[in-house]
Amino acid sequence: MSRIVIFAAGSRGDIQPCVALGRALRARGDEVRLVASARYSPMAVAAGLELAPLTADPAEILESDAGQRLLAGGRNPVKFLGGFKRVIGPMAERLLAECADACKGADLILGPTLGFLPRHIGEHLGVPWALIHFQPSEPTGAFPHPFVPRSLGSWGNRASFRAVDQIAWQLSRPFINPWREESLGLPRLPLRGRRPDGPVLACFSPVVVPRPGDWGPNVHLTGYWFLDEDEWEPPGELAEFLAAGPAPVYVGFGSMVPKDGEATGRTVRAALELAGVRGVVQGDPASSDGRVHAVRDVPHAWLFPRTAAVVHHGGAGTTAAGLRAGVPAVVCPFFGDQPYWGERVAALGAGPAPLPFRALTAPRLARKIRQAVQDREMAERASEIGRRIRAEDGVGRARQIIDALPR
What pLDDT, in 10s, does the model give residues 162-190?
Answer: 999 888 888 888 888 999 999 999 999 98
Q: Considering the chain, what percentage of its residues have pLDDT values greater than 70? A: 90
Expressed as residue numbers, the domain containing 66 is: 3-224+392-404
Quick one: pLDDT band at residue 69, thresholds 50, 70, 90?
low
DSSP symbol at 286: G
Show Cβ contacts of residue 231 under 8 Å, excluding neighbours closer than 6 positions. Answer: none
- Asked if 188 and 299 sit in the same domain, the reply is no
Distance between CA 7 and CA 136 in Å, rounded? 18
Counted domains in the chain: 2
- Asked if 354 and 370 sit in the same domain, the reply is yes
- Asked if 305 and 329 sit in the same domain, the reply is yes
| pLDDT, mean over the chain | 90
Widest Cα–Cα separation across the chain: 64
Whether 105 contacts 95, CB under 8 Å: no
- Asked if 21 and 41 sit in the same domain, the reply is yes
More reliable by pLDDT, 78 or 137: 137
Residue 230 lies in a domain: no
More reliable by pLDDT, 327 or 40: 327
Quick one: pLDDT band at residue 11, thresholds 50, 70, 90?
confident
- Asked if 143 and 247 sit in the same domain, the reply is no
**CATH for 17:** 3.40.50.2000
Among candidate residues 334, 362, 330, 370, the one with its CA nearest the CA of residue 346: 330
Q: How many CA atoms lie within 13 A of 208 on its CB side?
A: 35
Q: What is the pTM of this model?
A: 0.91
Residue 265 lies in a domain: yes
Residue 104 lies in a domain: yes
DSSP symbol at 113: S
Residue 229 lies in a domain: no
Strands, E, within 71-197: which ranges? 108-112, 129-133
- Asked if 28 and 139 sit in the same domain, the reply is yes
Does 160 score more than 70 pLDDT? yes
Does 59 score more than 80 pLDDT? no
- Asked if 9 and 136 sit in the same domain, the reply is yes
Q: How many CA atoms lie within 13 A of 371 on its CB side?
A: 18
- Asked if 211 and 284 sit in the same domain, the reply is no
- Asked if 277 and 141 sit in the same domain, the reply is no
Burial bucket for residue 245 (CB in 10 Å: 0-12, 13-18, 19+): exposed
Does 359 score more than 60 pLDDT? yes
Does 13 score more than 90 pLDDT? no
Quick one: pLDDT band at residue 312, thresholds 50, 70, 90?
very high
Residue 30 lies in a domain: yes
Quick one: pLDDT band at residue 347, thresholds 50, 70, 90?
very high
For range 330-359, the mean pLDDT:
96
Show Cβ contacts of residue 157 under 8 Å, excluding neighbours closer than 6 positions. Answer: 140, 141, 142, 143, 144, 145, 148, 151
- Asked if 398 and 361 sit in the same domain, the reply is no
Q: What is the 3-state secondary structure (H, E, C) of 309-371?
A: EEEECCCHHHHHHHHHHCCCEEECCCCCCHHHHHHHHHHCCCCCCCCCHHHCCHHHHHHHHHH
- The pLDDT of residue 335 is 86
- Asked if 186 and 331 sit in the same domain, the reply is no
For range 317-337, the mean pLDDT:
96
Residue 231 lies in a domain: no
Distance between CA 219 and CA 139 in Å, rounded? 11
For range 68-93, the mean pLDDT:
61
Of 63-67, 84-88, 369-373, the range with the highest mean pLDDT is 369-373
- The pLDDT of residue 58 is 58
Residue 101 lies in a domain: yes
- Asked if 178 and 256 sit in the same domain, the reply is no
Whether 365 contacts 330, CB under 8 Å: yes
Residue 307 lies in a domain: yes
